[in-house]
Every structure is written in C-alpha cells, then in structure tokens.
Chain A
Amino acid sequence: MTETFVIVGAGLAGGGAAATLREEGFDGRLVLIGAEPQPPYERPPLSKEYLRGESSFEEALIRPPDFYSDNDIEVYFGVEATRVDDAEKAVELDSGELLAYDKLLVATGGGNRRPKIPGLGLEGVYQLRTVADSDRIRREVAPGRRAVVVGMGFIGSEVAASLRQSGVEVAVVDRNGVPLRRVLGEEVGRVVEAIHREHGVELIFEDTVAAFEGDLGRVQRVTTRNGRSIGCDFAVVGLGVQPVTDLLADTGVEIDNGVVVDEYCRTSVEGIYAAGDVANHYHPVLGRHIRVEHWQNALKQGAAAARSMLGKGKPYGEVPWFWSDQYDLNLQYAGFHTDWDELVVRGSLRERNFVAFYLEDGKVLAAVAIGRGRDLRRSIPLIKAQRQVEAAKLRDPDIDLRTLASVQETHR
C-alpha cells in the first residue's frame, strides 16, 4: 500500500523537505500544506534586498513554481492546517477537510510576537515575517518619510538599515541599552550601535513603546514609557518570534519552547517529525536542546528530517550559522551560546574587521564576525571540537584558524 507523507508548513524547512523526499526516492503520496499563497521561498531577502527593491520575489523561491507538480507533490498553498489528530493520524485543514497521513512533518515555523500595545492595529503599523508583510512595508518607503522601528534584534536592525539605505528617516526604540545584546553581548553590540548611528538612525534605548497613536485609524506617532513622542509615517515592530504549535494542542507531542524533537527530528509521538524554526532539537554536538530561527537550520534540518522519515536519517549536528547584512557590512555568527566568560577578538572592533570568540572554560562556544567571513568559516571546526583553545592563538591573526582546529583533532 502506498504511504502518505504530509508536511505542514511550506517554508524553507517544509518545502525543502518535500524536495528532499522526492530526490531521495520517496514514491508515495506527498502532500505539502502552507498557510501562505506562494510556493516555498526564503525569507532572508525580505528585510534586505527584497525590501530595498533590489531583488525579485522569483529569486527567493526555493524551487521553480512548476517543481511541485512536476514532482507529483500535492500542494495546499494558502491553506491552514488547524489541528492534528494523532490517534486517527489525520490533519484537519481550515476548510474542514481531513488528510490522513502515515508520517507527518511539522515545519510550521514561527509567528511574530504581538505584544498588547495600544494602537498596534492602526494602519501603518507593520510586522515582518512574510513576503506580503515586506510588500506592505515597501509601499511605504520613499525618501524623506519617517519610520519608527520597534525592537533592535536582527530583523529590526536589518529593517532599520534597509530603510535608511532607501532614504527613510528612522528612529529605533529598544528596551535594552545596546542592540542585539542578548546574542552578541555588550562589546559587539556597541559596534552595531555605532554603525547605525553613523548612518543617521536615531536610537532610543532603555525605553519601550507605550502606544501607537494617530487620527483616522492611521499611525502618526509612537509614544514611549519614558515620555517620548516620535512622529512617524509608519512603524515596523520586530519583537521576536514564537513557534507555531497550536495545531498540536490535542496530540501527545511534547511542546516546550517549540516542538521537542530528538537528534533525528522525531517528536515524542511515533510518525510525527518536526524541523526548522518550530523545532526544539536535541543537538548531539552541543548536548542540549536548541531552537534555531535561521536559514541554514531550516534548509539542512528540513532535509535531515526528510531522510529520517525515510528511515535513513542521521543525527543532525550542524553548527548553527547565520548572516545579517546591514548597510555595506556583513555580520556572521556561528555556534550557540547563552553565557560566556571570555570574549577573544581577532582583528579590530573599531575597524569593523574582526572575528570575536565567545569562550567558556576556554572552549569556543560561538564566534561572530564582521567583514571577516573567511575566519568565521574556519571557526566552525573549533566550535564543533568543543575543546579548550589558547586565547592567544585565537587572537593572533598570523595563526591560521584551520591549524587550531586540526590540532584539536590530533589531541583526541
């Protein structure tokens, strides 16, 4: 009997998994369900090239539009999967239709946090997750217009940069004293701060939005807890993401900061898998569960989950990695850290050409680079090795990082 695999979520993880299943020879029924009307696409350009009008939507598609019909993948785009019944092994769609599955992949991704701020529903107040969101913001962009960006995480930082590059006057409100502090820490956060200041972004720190206000249902100003009133033509809110797990509420699937999966992307219910932004995945190298909201993880973990569904999976142990382009600078991060006890810098923070290593007990947990992508790539084996490295060697630009990684190997 033909098996049916259903994938809920048609982003990079889900769409990529569908492609992998066919490429790996799955010849059963394959159904791909996505809440958005478009075929699977990549999100990184939405805050950057696409938002600035420098790239087309077609360039963001992960496969040509015909790929799905050509590969006998049944698609439900613009359709929401509302509920999974793990006893009946069926997915319920918003149309009421029920789809039976033998194996199910949950790749529903994240949804933007929507804090209860008065006026959040006014016209001209945007969020950014989908191409439709990016299109709405694009329509507001024109030189001399004024925008308030709320939250200076990676999305907020990239949107602020793209808007400035398009001639928009930008003010940012962030509750922290330094952008991206939670991820990058004080020193590197200050570098990002200085870059934005130089590009004319007004930075309002240690403050939060009290309300979006305006007449006739349209935002005209943003007021803050500290009593600021910032006039604007539009606003973009980027206050983080939460995993979309509602559809699993009636199942036995363990949910804890997303869908909990093992190193093979298997959930606590047999036959149900998860990958991408929604998955809180047991990372075999790091020895803990992590949930990663980035492009590389969606791409590679989606493919890994597909192979697991076919019974030929391997533990997924890629070192998390992402980039963030802001203005003419390329920032990259690899690894995973929440705390660290030493920051070792190779290169110069001041000149914005560096790779900085986050160490704990002398082990490299993660690295961040600006303008130094070659070294960042060479740091990944060091992170994977999970062994102590001399700080002086990390700092010395004359030492090839690859030799440090290979020294690590020989000491095993």
Chain B
Amino acid sequence: MAEFVTVARADEKTVGEMRAFDVRGTRIAVANENGTFYAFDDACTHLQCSLAEGNLEETTVICPCHGAEFDVTSGAVLQGPARGPLATYETRVEGGALEVEG
C-alpha cells in the first residue's frame, strides 16, 4: 500500500497553482486545479526543467523551458519535445493537510 507524506497545508495560499516539494529526496510538483491536487515529478522528462515553474492550463502542465506538455492526471506527453511520460503520484487531503504518496 502506498505511504503518504504530508507536504503542506491544503489551501490556495501554500500551494498556489503549482509548487514543488521534496518528498523523501524526490522533487515532486503539486498542481492545484480548482481544488483538486495532482502530484507528478517536478523534473521535465526532456531536459529536467522544473515543471512547477511552468504553466498550468486546466490539467495540462507546460514546461517553462521548451514547451513540453503533460497531462497531470496521467503523466502522458501531450506535446513534445519530451518523449517519456511523467511519473504521477497519489494525493489526498487529511485533516487540512495535503499528503503525497512517497
């Protein structure tokens, strides 16, 4: 069973649209799409730019360096230049805390 790690209070202010957290040594980005949280590797699979520094358009995250696009719900590549999908992680909110599978 997946273990969860608390990363932040689950509110707009602490997460904003996107923010990266260290979860047991891995940089994991959390996207907040209208109150639903999606977690995925922060490093773009193309050249490892931080996706949390990019843009979130609905459930699409766009790399700030080279424009690769991923579906945050599945990690699938929607647009190159990235080739490989992103790893995604479960999230849950427990007692006001945002937890990410770690």
Chain A positions near chain B (C-beta within 8 angstroms): 42, 44, 49, 59, 295-296, 299, 321, 323, 325, 330, 332, 373-374, 377-378
Contacts and interface: CB of A to CB of B under 8 A. Distances in A.
A378 B65 contact: no
A323 B67 contact: yes
B49 to A, nearest CB: 7
B35 interface: no
Interface in B43-102: 47, 49, 53-55, 62-67, 80-81, 83
Given A330-B49, A373-B53, A378-B55, A42 B81 contact: yes
Q: How large is the interface on B (under 10, 10 to 19, 20 to 34, 35 or more residues)?
A: 10 to 19
B81 A330 contact: no
Interface string B8-41: 0000000000000000000000000000000000
Given A44-B81, A325-B47, A325-B65, 9 more contacts: A42-B81, A299-B80, A321-B67, A323-B67, A330-B66, A373-B54, A373-B64, A374-B53, A377-B55
Given A49-B47, A330-B49, A377 B83 contact: no
Q: Which of B53, B55, B62 has the largest count of A CB atoms less than 10 A from its CB? A: B55
Interface of B: 47, 49, 53-55, 62-67, 80-81, 83
A42 to B, nearest CB: 7
A330 B67 contact: no
A42 B83 CA distance: 12
A54 to B, nearest CB: 9
A377 B66 contact: no
* Secondary structure class of chain B's binding surface, majority of residues: loop
Contact of B62 (A49, A323, A325, A377): A377
A374 B55 contact: yes
Nearest to A323: B66
Contacts of B80: 42, 299
Contacts of A44: 81
Contacts of A295: 81
A374 B51 CA distance: 10
Contacts of A332: 65
Contacts of B66: 323, 330
A330 B81 CA distance: 15
Contact of A373 (B47, B65, B81): B65
A271 B53 CA distance: 45
Contacts of B62: 377
Contact of B65 (A42, A296, A323): A323
A377 B56 CA distance: 11
Nearest to A45: B81
Nearest to B83: A59
A374 B54 CA distance: 5
Contacts of A373: 49, 53-54, 63-65
A373 B47 CA distance: 14
Contacts of B64: 330, 373-374, 377
7 contacts: A323-B65, A332-B65, A373-B49, A374-B53, A374-B54, A374-B55, A377-B67
A59 B80 CA distance: 12
B81 A377 contact: no
A373 B65 CA distance: 6
B31 to A, nearest CB: 14
